[in-house]
Amino acid sequence: MITMLRALPEAEKDARFSPFERVAMLPLQAQRRFIDSLPPALREELELWGGGARPAQQCPDGDWRVWLVMAGRGFGKTRAGAEWVLDKAEAPGRLIALVGATEEEARSVMVEGPSGLLACAAGGPRPEWEPSLGRLTWPSGTVARIYSAANAEALRGPEHDFAWCDEVGKWSSADAAWDNLMFGLRRGPLPQVLATTTPRATALMRRIAALPQMEKTRGRTADNLALARSVVTHFTDLYGGTRLGRQELDGELVEDVEGSLWPRELIERCRVGTGTWTCTCPRAESEEMGTRTSTCPPGGGSGTRTSTCPLCPLHSLRRVVIGVDPPATAGGDACGIVVCGVDAEGIGYVLADATVRGVRPEGWARSVVRAAEAWDADRVVVETNQGGDMVESVLRSVDCRLPVRPARATKGKAARAEPVAAFFERGKARFAGTFPQLEDELAGMTIDGRYEGPGRSPDRADAMVWALTELLRARAMPRARFL
């Protein structure tokens, strides 16, 4: 891990890591030489918060009103909040609000916790803590009081210079507590509030994110090099790419769009659990026969075993189809390339997202051919509305044997997607793994034809719809006529 970090560009190291972490990346002898060469004052600073704080944990410059730190668990949000409050408490006579989801959480996390105010104040002026009053008093005369967001009325009346709000994403009575706090934030020349939280798609989170004079800091669990890498790897293996993982580990605000054809809950419900499997099959990521490690869906369980198919428990797949949504312009939009399959029971699976962006027609055609070879695809369904016969010709120019079926859309994207969404609703289609970019596009497609996902067009989602339509569409039965 450290070897990989050492290879990063210097500018990226400066942006991501604290001075202490930068020193820790040096070889051991170089660390000792560097630390020994420092003057005593700088050596002491390196061991304090000034040397340990990553850039994302440091207070932003400027006359901001709200600083929102929205990051994954273990990022260091509580430490950043506590150090910010300690810095503000050095001036005399200030009043500071400490607002937690509950009074108990404010007490146990923000004040008494391992990264709370009392622990962080060990190297400087230590406040007097009166638990029965929920009050901290510094030698400077600055006073901080704890409040519960669940008791919004307690914030009506008191006025403050500064406020630290922790885990605002889980507040009950959230809007009332926030509004009462902000009305009282009127002391001093520049009242400010720091909100630290793991994001949740709540009304208050949306309000805060849209405020003027707001500074936002994002961060991931993996950014904290003080966490054991085995712990980070374990969490990533379990939750990486899922909605929960993107929220709790990557610090993303993952929202549902009103009227979505694929609500986030549906996506998670239709996901097949993944595990680590050793596969020996010519349909590996490389073109040669060999062993690879893959994250194939183990039928809802997890474990390690040897299989002769890259799909492991999905070895009963009857067909594999690749959907392609070509870009409208050469070298412009993304070319959606999604691999899907259907098993012996008629269940469809999304297997891979091989979408490419910013390449010329021959470039995305080669990507389609590689995907077809890797997955031994029975058919490639490609939309020809934008390029007509030329789209098929481009694909065949790369591989004349490619089993291409041109498809022309006669309905809008939402109308074509709705029957496929119904397959997921009925449990007839599933996601074999995590596909964050594809899932964001699916979540942005709505019943009334709107698209509120990333980018201008749901290229990945459209490619998936073509593939699953080919695999799962009902075969029309001939109707008998009686004379």
CATH number at 414 reads 3.30.420.240
Q: Let me know whether 46 and 168 are in one domain.
A: no
Long-range contacts of residues 276-280, Cβ cutoff 8 Å, at least 24 apart = 276/237, 276/302, 276/304, 277/304, 277/305, 277/307, 277/312, 278/304, 278/305, 278/306, 278/307, 279/306, 279/307, 279/308, 279/309, 279/310, 279/312, 280/306, 280/307, 280/308
> What angle is formed at CA 363 by the lines to CA 362 and CA 368, rounded to 5 degrees?
95
Residue finishing a domain among 52, 69, 92? 52
pLDDT of residue 394: 86
Which run of H or E residues covers position 321? strand 319-325
Q: Let me know whether 378 and 324 are in one domain.
A: yes
pLDDT of residue 45: 56
Cα dist from 90 to 124, 164, 346, whole Å? 10, 16, 67
Q: Where are the beta strands (DSSP E) in 156-302?
A: 162-166, 192-197, 214-219, 277-280, 291-294
What is the total count of domains within the chain?
Answer: 3
Q: Let me know whether 25 and 62 are in one domain.
A: no
Strands 214-219 and 162-166: unpaired
pLDDT of residue 297: 42
Running DSSP on this structure, what letter comes out for residue 121? G
Which run of H or E residues covers position 185? none
Decide if 436 is inside a domain.
yes
Cα dist from 336 to 267, 323, 359, whole Å? 19, 8, 12
Give the CATH number, domain containing residue 191: 3.40.50.300
- CB count, 10 Å around CB of 84? 20
Over its C-alpha atoms, the chain yields an Rg (Å, rounded) of 28
Decide if 232 is inside a domain.
no
Q: What phi and psi values does residue 452 have, to the nearest 5 degrees?
A: -125, 30
Decide if 212 is inside a domain.
yes
How far is the C-alpha of 206 from the C-alpha of 248, rounded, in Å? 17
Q: Let me know whether 164 and 33 are in one domain.
A: no
Please give the residue range of the domain that contains residue 347: 264-270+315-472
Q: 323: which strand partners?
A: 338, 381
Q: Which of 187, 179, 139, 140 is nearest to 161 (CA)?
A: 187
Decide if 480 is inside a domain.
no
Q: Let me know whether 91 and 45 are in one domain.
A: no
Q: Let me know whether 23 and 151 are in one domain.
A: no
Decide if 98 is inside a domain.
yes
Q: Let me know whether 119 and 163 are in one domain.
A: yes
Residue finishing a domain among 199, 223, 247? 223
Decide if 385 is inside a domain.
yes
Decide if 320 is inside a domain.
yes
Q: Let me know whether 383 and 402 are in one domain.
A: yes
Q: Let me know whether 215 and 326 are in one domain.
A: no
How far is the C-alpha of 232 from the C-alpha of 225, rounded, in Å? 10
Q: Let me know whether 23 and 70 are in one domain.
A: no
Q: Let me know whether 104 and 154 are in one domain.
A: yes
- Mean pLDDT per block of 10 residues along the chain (483 residues) reads 51 57 60 64 56 79 95 94 95 97 96 94 88 96 97 95 96 94 96 95 89 92 87 88 87 86 92 54 37 39 36 69 85 85 93 92 91 93 76 83 86 89 94 92 90 89 96 54 41
Q: Let me know whether 47 and 72 are in one domain.
A: no
Q: What token pair was written down for 333?
A: 């939009």
Which residue's structure tokens are 């009686």? 482
Decide if 308 is inside a domain.
no
Residue finishing a domain among 194, 223, 252? 223
